[in-house]
Amino acid sequence: MMIDAHGNAGASIIANDFFKDEKNTVMVARISIAGLALIAWLVSLGNFDLTYIFFTYSTMRVNLFIILLLILTTAVLTRRAIFYTAIVMCPTTFAIGAYGIANKDPVYNTAAMTIAFFVSPAIAYVASLIERRKKINVLS
């Protein structure tokens, strides 16, 4: 169910927010869902312990939780800032947490989630401010 729900949401975001040609959004969404399903299938072939799969999912979720709340309630964040924050912070916090799992040290997991919860929204906010200032300077 998680893969289905997130696949649909991801496909919608890719088709509507990142693809400029509106005529082909349905095709792009279908290709995106197929790509996400392929990734899920490859993960299932690895026969990973469920702990690692849930940790990976929770890392991504925590990184984007406050950002999602800001998207829904304000207009402060820009799309590009959100995208680049996710690209940088998700692998970073995942690596910290994975190190904690590998060494059975929960301090690293706690640190990864704390960094994800507080630093990711801060980076997205600062990146959005910088992007908006650049647009204002270009228009001036």
Question: What pLDDT, on the 0 to 100 scale, is given for residue 6?
Answer: 60
Residues 87-131: tens digit of each pLDDT? 898 889 989 988 888 888 889 988 998 999 999 999 999 999 998
- Please give the Cα distance from 39 to 35 (Å, whole number): 6
Write the DSSP symbol of residue 75.
Answer: S
